Structure 1
């Protein structure tokens, strides 16, 4: 029996015939992280849905989260798309970006926006990057991921995920919502799958957005993702990894809406 999944629906302020948008969150997060982006989309005339993967947010499956696989998460996305009932524009952040890329190769989508996304080949480059440049942040993240702490420290998240000078109130809010992630799914991404970097020539629009102040996804991985989808990446120079929740969120919405206006 399918799990009950949280799917936060925000209709457009002025309803029209535009393609709906499905937003996919990253690791340790949930549909809640898209709240302001959904409001900005609605104001601009776009209907959107934000999914919480199993065991995240208000979705069922918390007790099974530790064993959730990438295929389980992909099944969740497919379930959400089935519920919406038509091809969507997929917007995915980090882990959600990886899932969005996999879905785009499985079924028809109307567009694909990848935000600070895990590249097609996985997380091995990110781990090397963090080990070399941010070892303390990596250790703190691993401690939280392994359940050694029930909630991540705001100071850790500030350096790990957020743009410089982001108000601590925004960091604290993220920390209060952040939750454990499936180590099973993350471990699948640690095994490099370089063949997945082969160029694609999609028949739908693709946007690749990178964060200039990202402590998790290096610029090289942003380039690899863009090359895999045959586009040129756009960098938000001041943005942190969790750009939908930091002080640069208006810049993210502006970039997304500018791209959507051309579809």
Structure 2
């Protein structure tokens, strides 16, 4: 019995030491990051040139899919363009440009030009640094590059972590014609006791894998976990189909969207639409509602929807809500 107690103590000590070392490493990593410095530095180290190109046409739009200089881009150009301002879609954790397909098709039918890109290490964009070392300021530099390459400032649409990047853009870069935040990260912090306990309680293996690998494995390590975290019954993709598309993600991004590394901007002049899913497990609807109130944003709760609003059974009505809101803002 004494030997068992001894080895149990050794094991617990090793786990505790590993956890403490990880926390110290994470704090050191995010403490050294500076959004302004990242924005002023060319971050793209992708292979130069165009490595993939494919286009398709329908009666309503032309779809262009390219990978150029290490970045995947999917663009929809309407045959009958009704708006001058383009839409730029920014995906969240684990996802890529692919997740916007169904909304991009709808908005093209409604006369909107739209573009979606994949951050490095996501979908068709090759990894440029180890995923575990990716941070929000690193991703922000790529988002700014996508905004700058468009001939006209876009309406920025961000989902989940992409919604956090929209907030970072508005604070560190500037205002836009409008922005739509789709089940976005909270305005002030993400690592709350409530959020951490919900993950540990519902997906203990995912929480353990996240701690062991320092990548955000919770909610994505198997189809059931992905379905619990991201969707509801009747979503476009089955749990198996969704899980097969997901990529690893950094834990540092979650650390960085918390004080003292992040505080929301005191004033935003950009018109904002904030969308929350009634059954969201990743960012619970009350947190989304509170964040919208902080920013003074227009808020809509999507009934019966989970976190991936653009892939839920009611994705069409949610897109229509956005389209109507943009019309009310008189976006040209």
Q: TM-score range by the shorter chain?
A: 0.7 to 0.9
Unaligned runs of 5+ in 2: 1-41, 47-69
Q: For residues 317 and 308 of structure 2, what CA distance do their matches in structure 1 show?
A: 12
For 2:73 and 2:107, the matched residues in 1 are separated by 16
Q: Residue 158 of structure 2 is aligned with which of 74, 92, 95?
A: 92
The DSSP-based 3-state class of the residue aligned with 1:14 is coil
Which moved further from structure 2: 230-239 or 37-46?
230-239
Q: Is the 1:6–1:31 contact (alpha carbons within 8 Å) kept by the matching residues of 2? A: yes
Further displaced range: 236-245 or 14-23: 14-23
Q: For CA contacts below 8 A with separation 6 or more, give which structure has more relative contact order.
A: 1
**Match of residue 90, structure 2, among 8, 14, 24:** 24
Q: In the aligned structure 2, how far is the partner of 1:139 from the partner of 1:24?
A: 29
Instruction: Note closer, same or farther for the CA distance 1:130–1:206 as it changes in structure 2 (3 Å cut).
Output: same
Counterpart for residue 180 of structure 1: 248
Cα distance change on mapping 1:139 and 1:261 into 2, 3 Å? farther
SS in 1 for 2:119: coil
Using structure 2 for the length normalisation, give the TM-score: 0.70
Give the drift of 1:166.
1.8
1:199 Cα deviation from its structure 2 partner: 5.4
Q: 1:229 to 1:13 in 2, by over 3 A?
A: farther
Counterpart residue number, 1:7? 73
* 2:191 aligned partner: 124
Between structure 1 and structure 2, the one with the greater Rg is 2
For structure 1, the 5+ residue unaligned runs are none
> In structure 2, do the counterparts of structure 1 residues 169 and 110 end up closer, same or farther at CA, with 3 Å as the change threshold?
closer
Q: For 1:67-110, what per-residue CA distance to the aligned partner results, in whole angstroms no more than 9, with x for missing partners?
A: 11111100000111122132110000000001011112312311
Q: TM-score, normalised by structure 1?
A: 0.87
Equivalent runs, 1:149-188 vs 2, <5 Å? 152-163=221-232, 165-166=233-234, 169-188=237-256
CA distance in 1 between counterparts of 2:194 and 2:100 reads 29
Is the contact made by 1:201 and 1:229 (CA closer than 8 Å) also made in structure 2? yes
Shift of 1:7: 1.9
- Residue 245 of structure 1 and its aligned partner are, at CA, apart by 1.5
Q: Report the secondary structure of 1:33's partner residue.
A: helix
